[in-house]
Amino acid sequence: MKPNSSILIKLFILQYLSVLCLSQDFDFFYFVLQWPGSYCDTRHSCCYPKTGKPVADFGIHGLWPNYNNGGYPSNCNPDSVFDKSQISDLMSSLQKNWPTLACPSGDGNKFWSHEWEKHGTCSESELDQHDYFEASLKLKEKANLLQVLKNAGIKPDDEFYELDSIEEAIKDAIGYTPGIECNVDGSRNSQLYQIYLCVDTSASEFIECPVLPKGRCASRVQFPKF
């Protein structure tokens, strides 16, 4: 085989794998919500967005395509860049429900751009950019996690609650077992940090998680004020 033929074959294989990666499907979404009080303790510092301090509610972290084996695709389409003009009608709702807490203080566009380009582009077989962000907002409203926990007597008051009670309250309301991730603050307290809900590939219905994330939590966790 001539050397240039070998190179051509390798290039063809690389091109094929590239196309395969772009078209590769996924099995479900993780819909991830984070508690801002714990985020600020996790990082030891946080910066409120330019629009001001967010309301004391769970904020969206992301909507992440996943595989049933625990793996996940990422950065699936480098040509599909975040375009805020496509979601201009959602902007005020995104600022309220999907706020950035990263430093330096921002307007949210960097956060949303990262989430779309890393995760959203891997769901383009189902959702375009507007659909992706709109679906996330609807899922947050549907879950209504803070109210769910308050209804069970679990409040962001710096008190400690049984992890099992938090899981049970969410399962009773949503119908499915959540994944829970905790952080440890400067006083070594295990805190309720992120909640993972599993969603079907249309990003409209909650489902039982094919695999749960491995969250490190104590049996009793603090629900910090914000």
Could you confirm whether 130 is annotated as catalytic?
A: no
Could you confirm whether 114 is annotated as catalytic?
A: no
Whether the pLDDT of residue 149 is over 70: the answer is: yes
Spatial distance between the Cα atoms of 226 and 222, rounded to a whole number of angstroms: 12
Q: Please state, as a whole number, how many other Cβ atoms lie within 10 Å of the Cβ of residue 199.
A: 24
Question: Rg (Cα) of the chain, in Å, rounded?
Answer: 20
Which residues, listed in sequence order, are joined to residue 32 by a DSSP beta bridge?
Answer: 62, 196
Q: Is the torsion defined by CA of 38, 131, 142, 75 positive or negative?
A: negative
Burial label, 37 (beta-carbon count in 10 A; 0-12, 13-18, 19+) = buried
Tell me the mean pLDDT in the region 52-63: 97
Residue 214's pLDDT band, with cuts at 50, 70 and 90, is confident
DSSP three-state, residue 148? helix
Tell me the mean pLDDT in the region 26-39: 97
Query: At 181, phi and psi to the nearest 5?
Result: -115, 135
Measure Cα distances from 81 to 65, 110, 121, 203 in Å: 17, 12, 9, 21
Contacts of 117 (CB under 8 A, 6+ apart): 75, 78, 80, 81, 82
Residue 20's pLDDT band, with cuts at 50, 70 and 90, is very low
pLDDT in tens, 1-11: 544 566 655 55
Residue 23's pLDDT band, with cuts at 50, 70 and 90, is very low
Residue 73's pLDDT band, with cuts at 50, 70 and 90, is very high
Contacts of 219 (CB under 8 A, 6+ apart): 162, 163, 164
Which one is catalytic: 119, 126, 134, 181? Answer: 119
Write down the mean pLDDT value for the chain. 91
Which one is catalytic: 61, 117, 126, 134? Answer: 61
State pTM to two decimals.
0.88
Could you confirm whether 117 is annotated as catalytic?
A: no
Residue 22's pLDDT band, with cuts at 50, 70 and 90, is very low
Residue 92's pLDDT band, with cuts at 50, 70 and 90, is very high
pLDDT value, residue 17: 44
